Amino acid sequence: MKRLAGRNAAGTVASGMRLGLGTGSTVAHFLEHLGERLACGEVSDVVGVPTSVRTEEAARRLRIPLATLEELGSLDLAVDGADEVDPALDLVKGLGGALLREKMVAQAAARMLVIVDDSKLVGRLGERAPVPVEVVAFGHASHIAWLRDLGAEPRLRAGGDGVPYRTDNGNLILDCRFDGGIGDPAELESRLAHRAGVVESGLFLDLAGEAVVAGTEGVRRLGGNAA
């Protein structure tokens, strides 16, 4: 299903586009198909801004031309995955650890296209996936009680060896679960944005305009010009 979604999204790319290249397993399929379209000359003059080191490495391997956000300034389209998608196309992202760069790239794009399988569709954000909150290392444990007061159950992300996970920006991530989901995502996002030491959250609100959703019955589109 991820391959189907990735192929469908790659078909959206037109020659001359400046792209935001997201991070994750579904985006990996998008990159593969985009690389194939470039290699055979189906599209040309496409440049992408990667949102993580691993996306950059994959794009270089597939010979997808890259640039920085500073060099391009604005983007035509950002293509990324999501961990949850609600009926308004608001998202939870960041289980891959690239939420800060992903949000910066999404904000720079005229359009954001999300590619997911239908298991990521939820009625309310936070129902299934934790909300990643990227924090600076200094005093990171001081956020625990504060996040609990907001209704979260936070946990410091760590690898299998117990070593705290570090983002490409050198920060830590607190994964926050909400029993029953998040009642008011906009209010939560505002509270997080005003907390010193919090760099960014995995709440992507009012950013995605369209979603490519793959399921057992094929691929459908939500939002945008979808029927």
- Residues that are catalytic: 102
Partners of 134 in the β-ladder: 173, 200
Q: Which residues contact 164 (CB under 8 A, 6 or more apart)?
A: 156, 157, 158, 172
Which residue from 202, 214, 227, 206 is spatially nearest to 9, judged by alpha carbons? 214
Is the Cβ–Cβ distance between 140 and 171 less than 8 Å?
Answer: no
Strand-pair category, 77-80 with 172-178: unpaired
Is the Cβ–Cβ distance between 120 and 91 less than 8 Å?
Answer: no
Structure tokens at 134: 């990227």
